[in-house]
Structure formats: C-alpha cells, structure tokens
Amino acid sequence: MNVFKFDSEEAWVEGVATFWRDRLCNNPRLRMCLPSGHTPNKIFAAMGEAVKARQLSFREAEIFCLDEFGGLAPDDPGKCANMLKHYLLSHIDLPERQFHWLDIDAPDLTKVCLEYDNAIEPGFDLTLLGLGLNGHLGMNEPGTTADSPTRRVDLAPGTTASSAKYLTHSKLPTWGLAVGLKQLLGSKEVWLLVNGSAKAEIVRRTVKSSIGEDVPATLLREHRNSFLMADADAAAEI
C-alpha cells in the first residue's frame, strides 16, 4: 500500500481531485466504483467544478455504486445511489445509462447481485473507498472473505448506528447489498480515502496491524496499486 499524507483537509481534497482528474483525462472510458457517505462529498464537489470549467468530462466513463442500504424507501435521500446522484452525478456529464446501481427493491436479490458482478466484468479501473471504524470496506464487514462476490450482507451494529447521519428518520438499515472484496481487490487501482481524527486509530490498524479478514482494509496492503490518501488528522498515528 502506498501512503499519501496531506497537511490539511483542504490539501487532501485538492490532491485527491487532482489525481482523479489525471486518471480520467488519461482514460476517458474509466470504469469506476464509487462510495457514498460524507467522506467523498467535498472531492465530488471539486470534480463537479472541474466538469463545469470544462477541464474534464465523464461522458465516456462508467460509474458503479459500491453498495446500497436495505429497507429504505426508493426516494430516501439516505440511499447510497441517491446520495451519489445528489453529490456527484447531478453535477457532472455522465450519461444516465452509464451509472450502475444495486436495485435493492427487486424481488430476486440473488439475481441482482449476479447481474451486477457480470456488468462489472472485466473489472474496475479505479475504485474509491471510505474506511469504516471497524475496518470495513463498503459493507464488507470484518470476517468477509477476500473472494466474496456482490451479495446481501448484514450490517455490523456500528455500521447501522453510523447510517443515522445520512437519514432523517429513526428506521435504520440492518442489511444491504455490497460489491464484494473479490471485485474491489481486483480493481486495477484502489484509493482508500480517510479524513478526520476519528479515523486515526483504524488508519493505524490498517497500516500496521496484521493483514487479515478481521480488518478488511488491511487486505489492501497486498494490492500493489492501492493508495491510502489521508489528511493530517487521520494520519496522526502513522
């Protein structure tokens, strides 16, 4: 794993956005897996501004949603696909047909997951991930095997509790659909995006503890094109 430390959150946002712009300019047909949540939103805003300034385009790219919460209404703003649409897709020029999302409300979720894995083939060029406080990647909680496919998952209690910050109601999700570690670790390049002092301990464990499925993020250390991109607060213990 390559470690990039930025002096401030502002430098972190600009640094990640610059790298991302470069990747997209070099490969306009970039196939990306993207997370939702609060961590990437300022980076998404920077990419939207770059598109507005005609510095780059997503017209030929593809974006896959990393995961989706179960049990939420289709129009719930806390759904992962809806957050991606609000914070990124509504500000860029990606054609609608080139955005792929997990249909959590379909009657056959096994079929949904299988078809999603088939759509992902031949794999992602670039995957962006946040880092859970327990080391999860997306909804791949501790104990997830490295060869796991896209599937239905049960959320750890801490993940369920953390979802409250995206919701305007108290009906918190306890399960979801997640792109598996097989596809994430198979991505040509993976960026682990981390900011804030609350993540300092899990960043330390990710970088320095034993590699294993009990902390899924440590598995990225075996990926030669993985990058930890952290601001000063998140990187304080490494």
2-231, what's its fold?
A: Rossmann fold (3.40.50)
Instruction: State residue 211's pLDDT score.
Output: 98
Instruction: State residue 87's pLDDT score.
Output: 98
Residue in 82, 125, 136, 140 annotated catalytic: 136
CA 33 vs CA 24, 100, 114, 196: distances in Å: 13, 9, 16, 23
Contact criterion met (CB below 8 Å) for 151 and 111: no
CA–CA distance, 193 with 12 (Å, rounded to integer): 9
Instruction: State residue 123's pLDDT score.
Output: 98
The alpha-helical segments, DSSP class H, found in 32-108 are 41-52, 80-87
Give the pTM.
Answer: 0.96
Residue in 82, 91, 134, 140 annotated catalytic: 134
Say whether 67 is catalytic.
Answer: yes
Residue in 141, 189, 223, 231 annotated catalytic: 141
Q: Which stretches does DSSP call E strand in the chain?
A: 2-6, 31-34, 62-65, 67-69, 99-100, 126-129, 151-154, 175-178, 190-194, 226-231
Instruction: State residue 225's pLDDT score.
Output: 97
3-state class (DSSP) for residue 190 = strand
Instruction: State residue 231's pLDDT score.
Output: 98
- Could you read off the pLDDT of 159-176 as tens digits, one per residue? 999 999 999 999 999 999
CA–CA distance, 93 with 231 (Å, rounded to integer): 29
Say whether 136 is catalytic.
Answer: yes
Say whether 233 is catalytic.
Answer: no
Contact criterion met (CB below 8 Å) for 157 and 141: no
Instruction: State residue 72's pLDDT score.
Output: 97
Instruction: State residue 185's pLDDT score.
Output: 98
Say whether 2 is catalytic.
Answer: no
User: Cα torsion for 139, 140, 141, 145, to the nearest 10°?
Assistant: 170
Domain ranges within the chain, ordered by starting residue: 2-231
The alpha carbon dihedral of 187, 24, 77, 117 has a sign of: negative
> Which stretches of the chain score pLDDT less than 50?
none
